[in-house]
């Protein structure tokens, strides 16, 4: 008798009603891709649970991978046995004995998903609790605050015994909410925005603006590494690298310095929107946090947004920097983001940028630039890299 199953619980997906099957299928696909390096496992998806049969695969590496899959609310290492009372008794006793139990308390929490099982839930709690007490020493019952909460779920296909939950990533399976373009800089904020967008089921493609020689190849590599890290949560990501030097220099020559950042952001948004159209995306995701910098005041956002009717999603809008950094550290992007290589926005930041720009003034300045032609030329020269989880770096080039 061995722990040879992992029970996966869906959480929010359980509220999806008639559409639940679509979400479950997507989650199963995402889990199968995530666990592709474990050839012996089997995945069984049911309406309200998913089961991973390990077939003697060490469980901890599998659990760690599953914790990165959106749509998984929690998971537990489980022991499976036949849905027969005597078999369940034996399995429950075996399960409890795997824990240090001298001086400990326990509780049996039974649940009958199979209502045809001939023993009621209360009777099952009593039978299993009594059997454990008779065959162990040092254990006592505490139904309110037990050290070991033994959960027994009786189903038609078998009975699963678990004790502890491991938290999952939560959210919705990536791919169930459509596709969006993530404006990915080399900073701390935008990778976190991408992570949170994927948590809501969005498939993302990333767009990065690259301005050589003002930004280096190492800055470009930092962004590739950030996108690569995000693939661990959302699967394959296409990274579109935009050659932005000519357009950026033209803006800074023509537009007054204190308004140049706003015009730059408007051009970046227009380019991202053109890429979105080509890739059949539905929205654009940014790492903006309200009031964090001059281009992220509400007045600035209104002027920048004016160039498109596409929905702009800002997952970080209400977060302060401390909260954003905490998420970045947890998901493994912070140490990449703080590499000392600047992106195209930071190197051209004006000394005193406008925090309350006037749209009419910005449009007036931009009229002296052939922006439509320059944007079309820039989009035509975009370089696209496809990144996959666990992909060796040398496969990208």
Same domain for 197 and 111: no
Same domain for 67 and 119: no
Q: Is omega for the bond preceding 385 within 30 degrees of 0, making it cis?
A: no
Same domain for 301 and 194: yes
Same domain for 312 and 230: yes
Same domain for 196 and 116: no
Segment 316-321 long-range contacts (CB within 8 Å, at least 24 positions apart): 316/189, 316/192, 316/193, 316/196, 316/287, 316/288, 316/289, 317/288, 317/289, 317/290, 318/289, 318/290, 319/289, 320/289, 321/188, 321/289, 321/292
pLDDT at residue number 391: 73
Question: Dihedral sign, CA of 32, 38, 42, 44?
Answer: negative
- Taking each helix axis as running N to C, give the angle between helix 217-234 and helix 189-199, from 0 to 180 degrees, rounded to the nearest 10: 20
Task: Check whether 183 is labelled as a binding-site residue.
Answer: yes
- Which among 81, 106, 135 is the end of a domain? 81
Helix (H) / strand (E) containing 226: helix 217-234
Task: Check whether 47 is labelled as a binding-site residue.
Answer: no
Task: Check whether 334 is labelled as a binding-site residue.
Answer: no
Q: What is the CATH number of the domain that holds 364?
A: 3.40.50.620
Residue 129 lies in a domain: yes
Same domain for 391 and 371: yes
- Are 91 and 135 a contacting pair, CB within 8 Å? no
Residue 174 lies in a domain: no
- Are 35 and 75 a contacting pair, CB within 8 Å? no
Segment 26-31 long-range contacts (CB within 8 Å, at least 24 positions apart): 26/71, 26/173, 26/174, 26/175, 26/176, 27/69, 27/71, 27/72, 27/173, 29/175, 30/69, 30/70, 30/71, 30/173, 30/174, 30/175, 30/235, 31/66, 31/69, 31/72
Total domains in the chain come to 3
List of E strands, 113-262: 139-141, 148-155, 158-162, 166-167, 179-183, 203-210, 237-243
- Are 298 and 290 a contacting pair, CB within 8 Å? yes
Task: Check whether 155 is labelled as a binding-site residue.
Answer: no
DSSP assigned state of 155? E
Q: What is the CATH number of the domain that holds 92?
A: 3.30.2130.30
Task: Check whether 106 is labelled as a binding-site residue.
Answer: no
Same domain for 15 and 70: yes
- Which among 81, 110, 141 is the end of a domain? 81
- Which among 81, 100, 120 is the end of a domain? 81
Task: Check whether 138 is labelled as a binding-site residue.
Answer: no
| Structural domain boundaries enclosing 150 | 84-155
Cross-strand partners of 81: 159
Residue 165 lies in a domain: no
Separation of alpha carbons 70 and 230, rounded Å:
12
Separation of alpha carbons 338 and 356, rounded Å:
29
pLDDT at residue number 397: 44
pLDDT at residue number 345: 60
Separation of alpha carbons 6 and 66, rounded Å:
10
Same domain for 232 and 264: yes
* pLDDT tens-digit series, residues 367-388: 999 999 999 999 999 999 999 9
Same domain for 2 and 65: yes
* pLDDT tens-digit series, residues 10-65: 988 878 878 889 999 999 999 999 999 999 999 999 888 899 999 999 999 999 99
Separation of alpha carbons 247 and 266, rounded Å:
12
Same domain for 268 and 128: no
Low-confidence ranges of the chain (pLDDT < 70): 1-2, 343-348, 350, 392-397
- Are 389 and 34 a contacting pair, CB within 8 Å? yes
Dihedral in degrees, nearest 10, Cα atoms 95, 99, 102, 108: -50
In this prediction the pTM is 0.91
Same domain for 247 and 195: yes
Bridge pairing between strands 312-313 and 179-183: unpaired
Task: Check whether 268 is labelled as a binding-site residue.
Answer: no
By CB atoms closer than 10 A (0-12, 13-18, 19+), residue 257 is middle
- Are 54 and 31 a contacting pair, CB within 8 Å? no
Same domain for 52 and 92: no
């Amino acid at each position: 008798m061995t722990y040879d199953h992992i029970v996966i619980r869906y959480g929010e997906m359980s509220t999806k009603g008639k559409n639940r099957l679509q979400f479950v299928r997507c989650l199963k696909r995402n889990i199968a891709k995530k666990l592709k390096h474990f050839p012996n496992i089997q995945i069984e998806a049911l309406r309200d649970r998913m089961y991973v049969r390990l077939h003697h695969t060490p469980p901890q590496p599998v659990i760690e991978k599953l914790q990165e899959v959106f749509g998984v609310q929690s998971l537990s290492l489980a022991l499976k046995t036949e849905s027969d009372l005597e078999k369940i008794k034996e399995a429950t006793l075996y399960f409890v004995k795997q824990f240090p139990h001298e001086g400990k308390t326990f509780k049996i929490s039974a649940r009958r998903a199979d209502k045809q099982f001939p023993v009621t839930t209360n009777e099952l709690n009593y039978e299993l609790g009594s059997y454990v007490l008779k065959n162990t020493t040092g254990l006592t019952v505490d139904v309110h605050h037990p050290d070991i909460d033994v959960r027994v779920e009786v189903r038609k296909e078998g009975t699963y015994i678990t004790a502890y939950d491991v938290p999952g990533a939560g959210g919705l399976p990536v791919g169930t909410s459509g596709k969006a373009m993530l404006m990915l800089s080399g900073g701390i904020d935008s990778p976190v925005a991408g992570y949170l967008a994927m948590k809501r089921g969005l498939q993302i493609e990333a767009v990065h603006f690259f301005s050589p020689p003002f930004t280096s190849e190492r800055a470009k590599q930092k962004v590739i590494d950030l996108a690569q890290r995000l693939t661990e949560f959302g699967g394959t990501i296409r990274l579109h690298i935009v050659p932005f030097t000519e357009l950026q220099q033209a803006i800074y020559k023509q537009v007054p310095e204190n308004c140049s950042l706003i015009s730059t952001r408007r051009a970046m948004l227009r380019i991202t929107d053109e890429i979105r159209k080509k890739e059949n995306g539905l929205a654009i995701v940014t790492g903006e946090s309200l009031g964090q910098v001059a281009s992220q005041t509400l007045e600035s956002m209104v002027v920048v947004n004016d160039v498109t009717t596409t929905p702009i999603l800002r997952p970080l809008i209400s977060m302060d920097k401390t909260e954003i950094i905490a998420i970045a550290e947890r998901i493994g992007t912070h140490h990449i983001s703080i590499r000392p290589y600047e992106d195209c926005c930071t190197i051209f930041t004006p000394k005193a940028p406008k925090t309350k720009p006037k749209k009419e003034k910005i449009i007036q300045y931009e009229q002296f630039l052939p922006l439509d032609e320059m944007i079309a030329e820039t989009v035509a020269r975009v370089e696209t890299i496809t990144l996959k989880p666990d992909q060796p770096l040398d496969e990208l080039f």
